Amino acid sequence: MSDHALNQISLDTFKTLSAGEKAPYLTEQGRSFHALVAQQFSRPMLDDLCSLANDVRRLAKTRDGSSFLQSRLFDKRAMLYFAQPSTRTFLSFHAACQTVGLDVVNVRDSSTSSEMKGESPEDTIRTFSSYTDLIIMRHPACGFAEEIAWLLSNTSRPVPVINAGSGKDQHPTQALLDVYTLERSFENNGGIDGKKVAFVGDLKRGRTVRSLAWLLTKFDGVKIYFVAPPELQIGEDIIAYLDAAKIPYELTSDFDQVIPEVDAVYMTRLQDEWDSDNESSQLDISKYYFTKDHLNVLKEKAVIMHPLPRRKEIDVAVDRDPRAVYWRQVRNGMWIRAALILRIFGCDQKVRDYYKEHI
């Protein structure tokens, strides 16, 4: 029987907690067992993961380093359980698993399972977990990954769960890759501490923005600009959290004025797939687009980010500017996910040691 913190409280109690209150249950002696909510990552953990991701990225460029990385978890299996389609998150995790030697098996749709034979979802997941050593899960229902993590923590063979996106709710590894991209972008420029970050576009519904705003509070002296039409401004819960954490922020609809001020512009697309009545597609958001002309007023060492997919928020002519780092974000996701997996399995120190000795 596991002595994992998650099995010390009931599922019902766990569910009533806010993401921040859940954090302690997901961290064990400085080690994350499950990775479910952005809020569970402390500043030291973030720093550790970013530096580990650097080691992984550089090791993976050499044949010897690749071979070492792949021999870390060659004897383990990961299940990519994607009840909701997401090719890019799937590919990113698949590549991360391959980097560290994990064999991957892919379950796309639970309707091919025994649910139709009257089995409970809990039994289905417990059965699936029997064949694997890690579950990477994407599910449309908020809280489903947490429920599974709680359930598995209470079995005799607990299996770690990584939340790869749950509804409008959480997508913690996206937030990690954004932090890692900021870290890399500012690595010769003082790091994230003291930087000004603008979030632009549909801030009301983008879980990416919400999670990253949360994680930025772990850094010193950060200032955040929320740039959006009033209808799509950031939620009050985030504002309340920033107030409590004493993080300075501004809410504005004047994009042009913000661009020259900031060190990072984080663009987002309109999330109109959540619309019930297409109301937001009536909005003119073109004044929140990043155009070629904006490159002239953007700071020389600033960066332009986007979680992708993009529509017209960023002119394709911007892609070749060295400050456009959204394609690099994609690769960064792979490295930080590999780092997270190594950490979950306790392989991080061996990777660091090998890196120091060989590179």
Residue type, 129: S
Pick from 52, 60, 234, 265 the residue near its own copies by CB under 8 A: 60
- 328 given a catalytic annotation: no
DSSP 219: S
Tell me how far, at minimum, the Cβ of 328 lies from its own copies, in Å.
9
124 is a contact residue toward its own copies (CB under 8 A): yes
Pick from 40, 54, 92, 211 the residue near its own copies by CB under 8 A: 92
The HSE-up count of residue 258 (CA atoms within 13 Å, CB side) is 26
Nearer to its own copies, 63 or 356 (CB): 63
Q: How far apart are CA 181 and CA 207, in angstroms?
A: 17
DSSP 292: G
Site residues for its own copies, window 252-281 (CB under 8 A)? 269, 273
Q: What is the 3-state secondary structure (H, E, C) of 117-158?
A: HCCCHHHHHHHHHHCCCEEEEEECCCCHHHHHHHHHHCCCCC
Pick from 34, 94, 171, 210 the residue near its own copies by CB under 8 A: 94
Tell me how far, at minimum, the Cβ of 131 lies from its own copies, in Å.
4
Cβ burial of 71 (10 Å; 0-12, 13-18, 19+) is: exposed
15 is a contact residue toward its own copies (CB under 8 A): no
Catalytic residue among 138, 207, 294, 343: 138
Tell me how far, at minimum, the Cβ of 89 lies from its own copies, in Å.
10
Q: C-alpha angle 210/214/220, rounded to 5°?
A: 140
- 138 given a catalytic annotation: yes
Q: C-alpha angle 241/242/247, rounded to 5°?
A: 155
205 is a contact residue toward its own copies (CB under 8 A): no
DSSP per position, 7-51: GGS-HHHHHHS-HHHHGGGGEETTEESSB--GGG--HHHHHHHHH
128 is a contact residue toward its own copies (CB under 8 A): yes
66 is a contact residue toward its own copies (CB under 8 A): yes
- 195 given a catalytic annotation: no
- 94 given a catalytic annotation: no
Residue type, 139: H
Binding site for its own copies (CB under 8 A): 60, 63, 66-67, 70, 74-75, 77, 79, 85-88, 91-92, 94-95, 98, 103, 105, 107, 110, 112-114, 117-119, 123-124, 126-128, 130-132, 155-157, 269, 273, 308-311, 327, 330-331, 334
Active-site residues, by number, are 88-89, 117, 138, 171
